[in-house]
Amino acid sequence: MTVPIIAIDGPSGSGKGTVSRLLASRLGWHLLDSGALYRLVALSGMLRDISDGDEPAHAVLAATLDARFETDAAGQERVLLDGQDVTLDLRAETTGNLASVVAAMPTVRGALLDRQRGFAVPPGLVADGRDMGTVVFPAAGLKVFLTASAEERARRRYNQLKEKGLAANLAGLSQEIHERDRRDSARSVAPLRPATDAVIIDSTGMTVEQVVAQVLALAREAFPAI
């Protein structure tokens, strides 16, 4: 049986995470937060004092990652690494920046491929990332490339961090977003770019609800059975 898949790709702060989570919950489908896997590899390396540029060591971590995604009794998502709750550390900007470095390592990407594909189980999957439609799920029935201006993305990231009670600096975030965009788009392996058959949605000035409604409408066309 082919599992219906919606691939949502796009740059940091484009709203992919929020939109993907809402879509998965509305459709009752599974969610793959592929960025969390790259963040977990980065965090695992930091915790083990592995140097940032050590590709073989990071590839081993990626292949042997002991990670669990859970939702607690209050409906809060938790991520466990080696049995420890790392939910907050995972979202820190330092983790995100290192994730972008390890995500450029071809052997790390290769080691995470099967794990990502394993999320495609019935009744369906919403896959959130950078290369969902181009590399991991090239046969996905619906591919969306969600973007927004760099200024809007920095502002959204700032508000997200503040809401979580984390330290944030708008100018610094804006610079990091530009830097991460450049690294994610320029890397030779699985660079950030829309699949040729992706629908591009620019969410600048759109509410989350408007984006979700647009993707749901596209999903009903792509998967008439839902």
Classify residue 3 as exposed, middle or buried by CB count within 10 Å of its CB (0-12, 13-18, 19+).
Answer: middle
> With binding defined as CB under 6 A, does residue 129 bind ligand DC?
yes
Select from 50, 99, 195, 215 the one that contacts ligand DC (CB under 6 A). 99
Residue 1 or 76: the one with the smaller Cβ distance to ligand DC is 76
Minimum CB separation of residue 225 from ligand DC in Å reads 27
> With binding defined as CB under 6 A, does residue 176 bind ligand DC?
no
Bond into 191 cis (ω within 30): no
C-beta atoms surrounding 70 within 10 Å: 11
Instruction: Provide the mask over 32-71, with x wherever binding to ligand DC is found by CB under 6 A and - wherever it is not.
Output: --xx--xx--------------------------------
d(CA 33, CA 71): 14
Q: Would residue 67 be called left, alpha or beta, if left means φ above 0 and alpha means ψ between -120 and 50 degrees?
A: beta
> With binding defined as CB under 6 A, does residue 211 bind ligand DC?
no
Residue the block writes with tokens 């669990």: 68
Residue 156 or 180: the one with the smaller Cβ distance to ligand DC is 180
Minimum CB separation of residue 18 from ligand DC in Å reads 12
Residue 113 or 220: the one with the smaller Cβ distance to ligand DC is 113
Residue 8 or 224: the one with the smaller Cβ distance to ligand DC is 8
Minimum CB separation of residue 214 from ligand DC in Å reads 21
Residues that contact ligand DC, how many (by CB under 6 A):
14
DSSP per position, 102-166: HTT-HHHHHHHHHHHHTT--TT-EEEEESSIIIII-TT-SEEEEEE--HHHHHHHHHHHHHHTT-
Closest-approach residue to ligand DC (CB)? 35
> With binding defined as CB under 6 A, does residue 130 bind ligand DC?
yes
DSSP 188: S
d(CA 197, CA 194): 8
134 and 10 Cβ atoms separated by less than 8 Å: no
Sites of contact with ligand DC (CB under 6 A): 12, 34-35, 38-39, 96, 99-100, 103, 129-131, 180, 184
